[in-house]
């Protein structure tokens, strides 16, 4: 049994090496929670929340995460022991949505569980890969020249796929310029819901660019219009923001809204639901990949472990720690060599938490026992 005795919420502030711009705006400071969970044997599991400080990506924020974890979710975990991390999803089922708060805690339970078994988290999840292919996500840049320079730099580092953010006015022409310089490089676009069906004819031009996919072109809560758009495009649509659960996945697949799913542990409420979406898509030959939320090392470690499952057949957004941070919260940091991450074989998340760095970057600590 997993008997949780104490949960420590470290509210951390880290500054990205470079500002991150999407169709929604730009930010560089990232506040989030490191969840430290201690069991009755004194073992520690770690999770990381991914909600941003403002509700632009989803309705959740750092503040809503804190409220939900402290006032609703942690008390449910402390109520009684757990047989298996899969039970957390059920234990939280009375709480509506708030998936990122749920996932931060459930991730710590999974890490604790794997450490109790003394196996890597990847193995506890059923993953077999010892190495994973990764891509990189490039925010909207100040000029096409700067974008081409970044694509060149990341291609030289061996990243397996370039994700380029687009929005009206920074899309087809920009991608054509990149294609001119890199005629065969695996490319995809992420629109973060910047378009509507009125842009259908405009978006059809993407079909001439040999993109691997176009991610979330339409509204963050839509699967109907995406089905209309997918029927008009030969480029596969990948859904991100629209998919919060296995049920959303089932509906989107039945409607034909997408051909690929970007699975983000925080967006779907944790690793157990992420596995269910993975398995559902594998049974229907729908490829998935692991999206990113600009995580620090603990969240990055969870993404690496999840990506070892068989149907993560497309490179995800799990770039190396040094792409994001001057100093990460884990030792060793996540390193990408020629577009590949070697999966750690230590118990749990497989990386040690750098306590000194955590203390230095922690702006508030709450102990709940
Ligand atoms: O490098 C990463 O962690 C991926 C970053 C990234 O592309 C995104 C993070 C968060 C929201 C979005 O802007 C975007 C995405 O949609 O995947
Ligand atoms: Mg996305």
Q: How far apart are CA 152 and CA 158, in angstroms?
A: 10
Tell me the CA distances in angstroms from 71 to 7, 67, 95, 126, 332, one per residue in order: 13, 6, 11, 32, 34
Q: How far apart are CA 87 and CA 90, in angstroms?
A: 5
Mean pLDDT across the stretch 88-109? Answer: 98
ipTM above 0.85, yes or no: yes
Strand partners, 260: 238
Is pLDDT above 80 for 23?
no
Whether 49 and 130 map to the same domain: the answer is: no
Tell me the CA distances in angstroms from 135 to 313, 330, 357, one per residue in order: 12, 21, 27
Mean pLDDT across the stretch 50-59? Answer: 95
Whether 99 and 216 map to the same domain: the answer is: no
Whether 61 and 133 map to the same domain: the answer is: no
pLDDT digits (tens, 9 = 90+) for 67-85: 999 999 999 999 999 999 9
Is 57 touching ligand 1 by the criterion CB < 6 Å? Answer: yes
Whether 137 and 259 map to the same domain: the answer is: yes
Give the whole-number percent of the chain exceeding pLDDT 70.
100
Whether 78 and 181 map to the same domain: the answer is: no
Whether 155 and 59 map to the same domain: the answer is: no
CATH of residue 242 = 3.20.20.120
In this structure, the number of other CB atoms found within 10 A of the CB of residue 31 comes to 18
pLDDT digits (tens, 9 = 90+) for 175-207: 999 999 999 999 999 999 999 999 999 999 999
pLDDT digits (tens, 9 = 90+) for 130-155: 999 999 999 989 999 999 999 999 99
Given 160, 163, 165, 275, the catalytic residue = 165
Ligand 1 centre from 292 Cα, in Å? 5
Q: How far apart are CA 75 and CA 221, in angstroms?
A: 30
Whether 264 and 307 map to the same domain: the answer is: yes
pLDDT for the residue numbered 25? 79
Is 48 touching ligand 1 by the criterion CB < 6 Å? Answer: no
pLDDT for the residue numbered 32? 98
Note down the domain range covering 99. 4-119+354-368
Give the whole-number percent of the chain exceeding pLDDT 90.
97
pLDDT for the residue numbered 22? 72
pLDDT for the residue numbered 200? 98
Q: How far apart are CA 292 and CA 312, in angstroms?
A: 14
Phi, psi of 25 (to 5 degrees): 145, -170
Given 30, 167, 212, 264, the catalytic residue = 264
Ligand 2 centre from 3 Cα, in Å? 36
> Which ligand is closest to the CA of 52, given by its number?
1
Look at residues 163, 112, 132, 158 and name the one whose alpha carbon lies nearest to residue 305.
Answer: 132
> Which ligand is closest to the CA of 139, given by its number?
1
Whether 280 and 334 map to the same domain: the answer is: yes
264 is catalytic: yes
165 is catalytic: yes
Is 319 touching ligand 1 by the criterion CB < 6 Å? Answer: yes
Q: How many residues appear in the chain?
A: 369
Whether 331 and 212 map to the same domain: the answer is: yes
Average confidence score pLDDT of the chain: 97
Whether 115 and 16 map to the same domain: the answer is: yes
Total domain count, the chain: 2
- Return the DSSP state at 368: E
Mean pLDDT across the stretch 206-210? Answer: 98
Whether 87 and 148 map to the same domain: the answer is: no
pLDDT digits (tens, 9 = 90+) for 303-346: 999 999 999 999 999 999 999 999 999 999 999 999 999 999 99
Residue numbers belonging to the annotated binding site? 190, 215, 240
Whether 108 and 161 map to the same domain: the answer is: no
Residue numbers belonging to the annotated binding site for Mg(2+)? 190, 215, 240
CATH of residue 8 = 3.30.390.10
């Amino acid at each position: 049994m997993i008997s949780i005795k104490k949960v420590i919420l470290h509210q951390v502030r880290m500054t990205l090496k470079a500002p991150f711009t999407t169709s929604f705006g730009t930010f560089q400071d990232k506040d989030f929670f490191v969840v430290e969970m201690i069991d009755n044997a004194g073992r520690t599991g770690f999770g990381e929340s991914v909600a941003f400080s403002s509700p632009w990506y989803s309705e959740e924020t750092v503040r809503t995460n804190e409220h939900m974890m402290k006032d609703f979710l942690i008390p449910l975990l402390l109520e009684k022991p757990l047989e298996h991390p899969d039970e957390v999803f059920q234990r939280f089922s009375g709480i509506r949505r708030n998936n990122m708060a749920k996932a931060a805690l459930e991730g710590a339970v999974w890490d604790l569980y794997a450490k109790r078994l003394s196996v890597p988290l990847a193995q506890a999840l059923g993953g077999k890969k010892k190495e994973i292919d990764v891509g990189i996500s490039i925010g909207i840049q100040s000029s096409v020249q700067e974008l081409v320079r970044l694509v060149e730099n990341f291609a030289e580092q061996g990243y397996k796929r370039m994700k380029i953010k687009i929005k009206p006015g920074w899309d087809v022409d920009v991608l054509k310029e990149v294609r001119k310089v890199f005629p065969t490089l695996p490319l995809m676009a992420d629109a973060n819901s910047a378009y509507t069906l009125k842009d259908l004819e405009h978006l059809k031009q993407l079909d001439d660019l040999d993109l691997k996919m176009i991610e979330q072109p339409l509204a963050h809560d839509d699967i109907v219009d995406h089905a209309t758009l997918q029927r008009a495009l030969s480029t596969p649509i990948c859904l991100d923001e629209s998919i919060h659960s296995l049920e959303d996945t089932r509906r989107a697949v039945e409607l034909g809204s997408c051909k690929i799913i970007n699975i983000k542990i925080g967006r779907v409420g944790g690793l157990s639901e992420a596995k269910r979406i993975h398995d559902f898509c594998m049974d229907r030959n729908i490829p998935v990949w692991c999206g990113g939320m600009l995580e620090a090392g603990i969240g990055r470690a969870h993404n690496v472990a999840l990506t070892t499952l068989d149907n993560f057949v497309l490179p995800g957004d799990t770039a190396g720690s040094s792409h994001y941070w001057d100093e990460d919260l884990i030792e060793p940091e996540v390193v990408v060599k020629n577009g590949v991450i070697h999966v750690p074989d230590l118990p749990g998340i497989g990386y040690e938490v750098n306590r000194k760095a955590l203390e230095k970057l922690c702006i508030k600590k709450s102990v709940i026992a």
